[in-house]
Amino acid sequence: MRQLIRRMNHENWHIKQEFFLLNDEGHGKALYIVSTPKRSYSLVCFSHYLEPNRRTDRVIADAWDATFSLFDGKPCHSDINRLESQTPLQEAGRFHASELVMSRANKSLRLFDYVMNSLASGTQPKADVINEIGYLMRTTAVYANGKFGMADRTNYANRSELMQPYQAEMLTVYMIRKFSLDLVEHVAQRKNCRKFVPLDRRLKRHIGIGNATGLGMAPFLVSHPVLIHNWFHARETALASIRSLEAPTPNQANIFQKQIKQAALHISEWNIEDKAYMANITALENDVRFLIERTSKQTKFFEQPRPWDTLYKMAVDNVCIEAQELLVSLILEPYPEYTDKLAHTLHVDREIPFDPSMSVVEFCSLIDHHYSWALAVNFNDLRQSKYFWYYSTEKIEPRRGMRREEIGADKEMQIAVARDIQSMREKLQSAKNQEIMAVFLLRHPEFRHIVKRVLIRAQHEYSEIQDNMIGEKCRPIDILRCKLAFFGATKFDPKSDLWTRVTMFQGAPLDDELSRDDKDNWGFPIKPVSKCYKYL
């Protein structure tokens, strides 16, 4: 998300509301044009009446408060008419290569109505209430890359503005945020145009866009090992470079000290219903306080040699994993030159050629070296194979079922890496040591996808999620959170082990603020009028 905002700033993108044809209730259509230096994109929006009992985050929903298409260029009337008939159908519609992204969103009724009624009565909504929810609308799916007939990513992957992964999707989500802000003001004004006041800019900026994410993301990460390697490798490369630095400049140390205090305040404003995750947040807050104290100006922490390395090691020894991960992000903050130059390594531009010419004995040593975590799982224990993953007839989305209680295990998705590694390792025991893997696979083609994985892993150290995807203890929510964290999502709000809500673009510059100098200072959004935090 921040990568997109930085680009919008550097390249002086402009966003124009082309039309906003909505009735008093906010139903109708709207069009926004995003002008970049080389081309334009358009968000085509359709806002609908939705029966309250049909409002659900679930992917199986078939109606939403609003539906969207990101169009490549400026749509003509016939394009808009076509999209008006297809976009509201979402997965049931058919799209053209002129459409890059399709999405939908539902209102957070509680916040939407509250903000709308406040504005209509001439008062500003309370920051606390806005902060509690964080968004007026929540997307429940964002589709791209050729789904339902839309443009393949290869059609636009060579465009600088969309080259990095998920930039088209992020642009769509950012634009939906703008639509939601325009929508609430529109409805409030129509409700009472005499008393109506526009939403305070600082409050507006603190309203992000929600997202509900479910299981589908988990199999995606398993089946894209090179992509996830690239993401983690970029992060670890930047971290390693910074840890090796002898000393930060005073300005860099200041940035860190300021950001960690803002992060602490951000965490203190992060409240969720889930008790277990709330306990994690509390522990995180305490640990961040510990890190603030250890790195405050009075301690002269940054005057010692290689302070970033010392800080990192101190965190590993003293704070929870959540705080360690947060610290890594904070250490990267003062060094955009280290992270930005890695941006081009995030995407995957080609398949890794498959070469099964390795001998069985060499291949076994690779497995033993890289997959000890998989070989350690005891599959005689039925709990380790409690689940299976499958595509559901409803919306053709991945789901997880209980192997011994539900139908469909015979149609299982092939993402049980640990189990398949073990099975293959056992079969390899009876193969000749010097036989090449290509010949082994003639007899056992069922393991060919696993051989590919092992060979990818041999060259990509962050390519495997080292967990048993079918085991009782596997928590898909952690996998979802991993991917969403790379997007820059905040305020994780898990609803079970299977799905979460998050907030995106909270604190991000509004479209008319994109040229501001502080365009990048929103990583840890805090309430506009916040209590005085003792560490600030």
Partner 1 sequence: MLQVSLSEIETSICKAVSATSLPVSFGEDAGRAARCMAESGIGSLVAFVEALDALNNGQSTGFNTQCAAMGKFIPKLDARHLSALYAGPSACDLLVSTHDVGPEYAAITLENVDKPLIILFESLVTSIDRTFGLHLSWKTQHSIQAICWRGALTIVEGSSQNLCTSGPAKMSILRITKPPTNMEPAWSPQRTKKLTYVEEEVWHRLISYTNRLLVDSTEKSRLTGAGAGITDTD
User: What residues from 252 to 291 belong to the interface with partner 1 (CB under 8 A)?
Assistant: none
Find the helix packing angle between 321-332 and 225-243, rounded to 10°.
Answer: 70
Select 97 or 529, whichever has its Cβ closest to partner 1.
Answer: 97
Shortest distance in whole angstroms from residue 139 CB to partner 1: 13
* Min separation Cβ 213 and partner 1, Å: 9
| Residues 175 and 167 sit within 8 Å (Cβ to Cβ) | no
Pairing verdict, β 66-72 and 398-402: unpaired
Q: Which of 158, 407, 429, 532 binds partner 1 (CB under 8 A)?
A: 407
Interface with partner 1 by CB under 8 A: which range of 38-46, 116-124, 210-218, 509-517?
Answer: 210-218
Residue type, 181: L
Q: Cβ of residue 59: shortest distance to partner 1, in angstroms?
A: 8
Q: Are 58 and 207 in contact (CB under 8 A)?
A: no
**Do residues 331 and 312 touch, judged by C-beta distance below 8 A?**
yes
**Who contacts 93 (Cβ-Cβ below 8 Å, separation ≥6)?**
85, 86, 87, 102, 148
Ranges within 94-123 binding partner 1 (CB under 8 A): 94, 96-97, 106, 108-110
Q: Based on CB atoms, which residue is closest to partner 1, 159 or 258?
A: 159
The binding track of 65-84 with respect to partner 1, each residue x by CB under 8 A or -, is --------------------
Write down the residue that tokens 């945020």 correspond to.
177
Residues 385-404 that bind partner 1 (CB under 8 A): 390-394, 396, 399, 401-402
473 binds partner 1 (CB under 8 A): no
Tell me how far apart the alpha carbons of residues 52 and 107 are, in angstroms, rounded to a whole number. 11
Site mask, partner 1, residues 419-458, x = CB under 8 A?
---------------xxxxxx-xxx-xxxxx--x------
Using CB under 8 A, pick the residue from 5, 30, 137, 150 that binds partner 1: 150
Footprint (CB under 8 A) of partner 1, residues 344-383: 350-351, 353-357, 359
Q: Binding partner 1 by CB under 8 A: which of 32, 179, 256, 499?
A: 499
Name the minimum Å distance from CB 18 to partner 1: 26
Q: Is the separation of the CB atoms in 101 and 41 below 8 Å?
A: no
- Of positions 37, 73, 122, 149, contacts partner 1 by CB under 8 A: 149
From 92-100, 187-195, 283-291, 300-308, span contacting partner 1 (CB under 8 A): 92-100
In the block, tokens 């309430």 appear at 527
Specify the stretch interacting with partner 1 by CB under 8 A; choose among 153-161, 422-430, 511-519, 526-534: 153-161
In Å, what is the CA distance from 295 to each residue of 312, 318, 331, 334, 403?
Answer: 12, 14, 12, 15, 50
CA–CA dist 516, 389 (Å, integer): 46
* Pairwise CA distance, residues 306 & 310, whole Å: 7
* Cα separation, 504 vs 77, whole angstroms: 31
Identity of residue 152: D
Tell me which residues in 41-60 interact with partner 1 (CB under 8 A): 52-53, 55-59
